[in-house]
Amino acid sequence: MPLPATEHLHPDAPGLDTRPLRDVANLLLDGQLAALQAVRPALDAIAQAARLMAETLRNDGRLAYVAAGSSGLMALADAAELGGTFGIPADRIRLSMAGGVPVNATMPGYTEDDSAAARAAAAETRPDDLVIALSASGSTPYPLAYVAAAREKGARVVAIANNPDTPLLQAADIAICLETPPEVISGSTRLGAGTAQKTALNIASTLMGIELGHVHDGMMVNLLADNEKLRGRAAGIVSRITGVPQEAALACLERSGGAVKPAVLLAAGHSETEAAQALAATRGRIRDALSDLQTRKTN
């Protein structure tokens, strides 16, 4: 059986350990840059995945990230940021990583073969959930078993893998194939393959945030402002959108309980009731809500 591309030997690998570290560093960077190029051909599929992610959340479904090893760490990085960046509630995000999320430097490899644990983790899957499964090889038993069990529950699947025509991609509603070249360190998919996976996830979840109306002119208008830095950022967002001074923006955020979107509408001169109604009518899109309220006042 031929080895997957992620296990091939890199052309520059022979004698790698005899070269100056500065030269090897160049090779490693070139490997990362080459891996990033694998994302561009997959952008259409990534955009489709983002639309499905947004649709899932709008319909009260959950996003279930599933992976093992390095892919699991990429999934964790994306899943854990959705709350702070886009205000996605924690109960709408699930993460199933083979062996569990590591709490120290121990991450045993054998857990990726534990199909029984994957099926158990998928037991609470609901039909309106969306599974986002990752595997560099595309054949890791843990995400494969999870996907099979989730499909039996009626869930849809987005799959990300770095080898084409693999079982994980074949099991997906939306298949994102990132054909990264061989790693400079053969099989070490925490390098190029991981970089491509993280980039694809970052793009997909950001597009999802835009689709949900949580981004306005490149600003995170549904962020969770739970520290001093983010409270300052939230006030800056309200000020930039409406032109009110920082102090007025802070006062509006106080009135809105820290929520940026209604604070913007308050700063634009609308009442709490008007803000709530406009945001509900426009599915949380500030631009449309501002336009809607302006039209009502004009009429």
Residue pLDDT, tens place only, 173-224: 999 999 999 998 998 899 999 999 999 999 999 999 999 999 999 999 998 7
Confidence of residue 105 (pLDDT cuts 50, 70, 90): confident
How far is residue 261's CA from residue 246's CA, in Å, rounded to a whole number? 16
Percentage of the residues of the chain whose pLDDT score is greater than 90: 81
User: Catalytic one among 7, 55, 81, 152?
Assistant: 81
> 112, 179, 211, 274: which is the annotated catalytic residue?
112
What is the Cα–Cα distance from 133 to 96, expressed in whole angstroms? 10
Active site (annotated) includes residue 247: no
CATH number of 215-298: 1.10.8.1080
Domain 6-211, what fold? Rossmann fold (3.40.50)
Cα(197)–Cα(74) distance, integer angstroms: 7
- Asked if residue 299 has pLDDT above 80, the reply is no
**112 annotated active-site:** yes
Residue 63 vs residues 32, 90, 97, 156, 208: alpha-carbon distances, Å = 28, 10, 14, 10, 11
Distance CA(48)–CA(208), nearest Å, equals: 10
Q: Are strands 63-67 and 130-135 parallel, antiparallel or unpaired?
A: parallel
Please, what is the average pLDDT of the chain? 94
- Sign of the C-alpha dihedral computed for residues 86, 91, 92 and 94 taken in this order: positive
Q: Which residue has the tokens 């924690």?
A: 90
CA dist list (Å): 195 to 4, 32, 166, 192: 18, 7, 20, 5
The pLDDT-based confidence of 104 (bands split at 50, 70, 90) is: confident
Q: Is the pLDDT of residue 239 over 60?
A: yes
Q: Locate the domains of the chain by residue range.
A: 6-211, 215-298
* Mean pLDDT, residues 282-298: 86
Q: What is the pLDDT of residues 4-55, one digit of tens each?
A: 778 888 988 899 999 999 999 999 999 999 999 999 999 999 999 999 999 9
The per-residue pLDDT for 1 is 53
pTM above 0.85, yes or no: yes
pLDDT 10s digits, 121-176: 999 999 999 999 999 999 999 999 999 999 999 999 999 999 999 999 999 999 99
